[in-house]
């Protein structure tokens, strides 16, 4: 029997009567559409040159993989959105409270108090905590003597060396001491007041807006105070 070569282009799918292609977003091929077209292709293939089984398996597997990944991505996006919203709800309870943040910059509020910690993994001798104003001038030096390793808490009452109250505003804390008899600069963390909370981009997540026109990520919080 002579088999005539099809006059249809090789890349043209013929829809078999009765086979419905599901409606979806224009330009998108759904899983139902894919298998309907695949069935039609098999029904209209050249008997003398049938489709290669391995190629068919690759087509089906490839579509299933892409469809699965797309579905998985959608689920992850939904999960990420839900997680961010939940974090924002939790972070909203921080408004009006103080959080401990790594750094040396702090804000002396109207109550005249600035708190923080000096961090050292070894014993510190002759610990000196210096408070500087925005001009870099020293307004107060607090001697803390010898302190064990760990987080060393300090509190400044907002007065200068003579006991006079200084204006509220931005101040910097510098800590120095002797570690193993060597002069050492020590890292600090300062309690900052949370003014508001907002959602940023997906990469940043929840952002806390601090007193003093500074913003940090929720993940930057070391400790939650009062």
52 in a domain, yes or no? no
89 in a domain, yes or no? no
Alpha carbon distance 48, 132 (integer Å) = 89
**pLDDT score for 218:** 86
163 in a domain, yes or no? yes
Alpha carbon distance 204, 218 (integer Å) = 9
The per-residue pLDDT string of the chain (226 residues; one tens digit each, 9 = 90 and over) reads 444 444 444 444 444 455 554 455 555 656 666 666 666 666 665 555 555 556 656 666 665 565 555 655 555 565 455 555 666 667 788 899 999 999 999 999 888 899 999 999 999 999 999 999 999 999 999 999 999 999 999 999 999 999 999 999 999 999 999 999 999 999 999 999 999 988 766 566 788 999 988 999 888 999 998 7
**pLDDT score for 74:** 59
204 in a domain, yes or no? yes
147 in a domain, yes or no? yes
**pLDDT score for 219:** 86
CATH of the domain at 213: 2.60.40.4070
Task: Please give the tally of structural domains in the chain.
Answer: 1
Give how far Cα 116 sits from Cα of 126, 165, 175, Å.
18, 19, 11
**pLDDT score for 141:** 97
Domain that holds residue 99: 95-224
125 in a domain, yes or no? yes
77 in a domain, yes or no? no
Q: What is the DSSP letter of 164?
A: P
CB atoms closer than 10 angstroms to residue 192: 26
Pair 223, 194: CB distance under 8 Å: no
85 in a domain, yes or no? no
Alpha carbon distance 35, 40 (integer Å) = 9
DSSP run (H or E) holding 42: helix 31-43
DSSP run (H or E) holding 32: helix 31-43
């Amino acid at each position: 029997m002579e088999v005539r070569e099809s006059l249809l282009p090789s890349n043209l799918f013929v829809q078999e009567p009765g086979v419905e292609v599901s409606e979806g977003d224009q330009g998108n091929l759904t899983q139902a559409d894919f298998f309907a077209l695949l069935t039609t292709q098999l029904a209209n293939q050249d008997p003398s040159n049938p489709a290669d089984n391995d190629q068919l398996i690759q087509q089906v597997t490839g579509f299933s993989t892409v469809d699965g990944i797309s579905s998985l991505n959608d689920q992850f996006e939904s999960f990420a959105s839900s997680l961010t919203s939940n974090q924002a709800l939790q972070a909203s309870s921080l408004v009006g409270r103080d959080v401990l943040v790594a750094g040396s910059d702090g804000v002396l509020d109207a109550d005249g108090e600035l708190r923080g910690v000096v961090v050292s993994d070894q014993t510190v001798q002759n610990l000196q905590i210096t408070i500087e104003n925005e001009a870099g001038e020293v307004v107060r030096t607090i001697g803390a003597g010898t302190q064990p390793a760990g987080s060393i808490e300090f509190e400044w009452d907002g007065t200068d060396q003579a006991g006079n109250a200084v204006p509220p505003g931005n101040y910097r804390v510098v800590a120095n001491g002797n570690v193993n008899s060597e002069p050492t600069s020590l890292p600090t963390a300062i309690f900052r007041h949370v003014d508001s909370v907002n959602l940023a981009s997906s990469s940043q997540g929840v952002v806390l807006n601090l007193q003093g026109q500074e913003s940090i990520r929720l993940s930057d919080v070391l400790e939650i105070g009062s």
